[in-house]
Every structure is written in C-alpha cells, then in structure tokens.
Structure 1
C-alpha cells in the first residue's frame, strides 16, 4: 500500500447543538455543527435518517433542497425548514 495523499487534514473548533423535536408529521433528531468552514453554513445531520447536508439560509429558500437532501415530503420539509430558519 502506497503513501496516502491528503487534500487536507485540519482540526477546527466547532459548536455542536443536538436537538430533537416532533413535528406534526415527523420526528427530527438533529446535530447542527457550526464552524469556520463551509462559508458560514452549518452541517446539519439527521441522526435517525442517516442523512446530512451543508445548509445556509440561502439553501432553505431553494425549492426542493430539503426534500432531496433528507428524503422528505413537502410537509415534513416545511417543518424542518421553519426550525432551521431559526438556527442557521
């Protein structure tokens, strides 16, 4: 096995919020990671659904973004979107 070629290998300080809430249609168990990476956007991990996305407020305005990233229907995505507007 040859030597590994790293594109980057950084350690950064993060702020991580773990939150769980029940919407009308779905339960959300999230880890929201903020750091100086990703141009001010947050890494939002859906722990139960095993999915994640890098999200900023501009992404929340993008039609179909949350539906695609988290495999949600429109109602579920709207519940998640309304919460994320408050935290990203």
Structure 2
C-alpha cells in the first residue's frame, strides 16, 4: 500500500453549542461548532436531517442557500435563518 499523503492533519479546541427549537412545521436539533478554521464561519450540523454546512452571515444573505443545503421549504428555511442571524 502506498504511503498516505495528508493535505493537513490538525487538532483544534472548538466550542460547540447544542440547541433544539420547534418551528411552525418542524423541530430543529442543531450542533453549532465555532472554530478558527473557516474564516469566522461556523459549522452548523442539523442532527435531524444529517446535513451540515459551513455558514457565515454572507451565506445567510444568499437567497435559497439554506433551502438548498438543508433541503427545507421557504418557511422552514426562514425560521432557521432567523435563528442563525440572531446568534451570529
């Protein structure tokens, strides 16, 4: 077997917030990971759908982004967007 070629192999302490809230149509169970690795953006894991994204304010302002990444309808995406804007 060939020697493994690593692009990077770093360890970092992170801060993780677990939050669950009920929207109009669905429950959101999120893990929000703050790290210095992604240019100030946060890793947002939706544990209900097994989807995640690296999100910053610019991503929240992008039309259709949350709908696409988390496979949400407009109403559910707006609830998630509202929550994330409050915490960023």
Provide the TM-score with structure 2 as the length reference: 0.97
Residue 11 of structure 2 is aligned to residue 11 of structure 1: yes
Alpha-carbon distance in structure 1 between the residues aligned to 2:57 and 2:20: 20
The residue aligned with 1:45 is 45
Distance 1:58 1:85 in 2: 11
Secondary structure of 2:77's counterpart equals helix
Query: CA offset at residue 2 of structure 1?
Result: 1.3
Q: Distance in 2 between matches of 1:82 and 1:25?
A: 15
Counterpart secondary structure, 2:79? helix
Cα RMSD (Å) of the superposition?
0.6
| Matched residue SS, 2:39 | helix
Question: For this pair of structures, how many residues does the alignment match?
Answer: 88
What corresponds to 1:2 in structure 2? 2
SS of 1:62 mapped into structure 2: coil
Q: Distance in 1 between matches of 2:14 and 2:49?
A: 22
TM-score by length of 1: 0.97
Residues 13-65 of structure 1: per-residue CA shift (max 9 Å, x gap): 10000001000011100000001011000000001100000000111010000
- Hey, what does 2:71 align to over in structure 1? 71
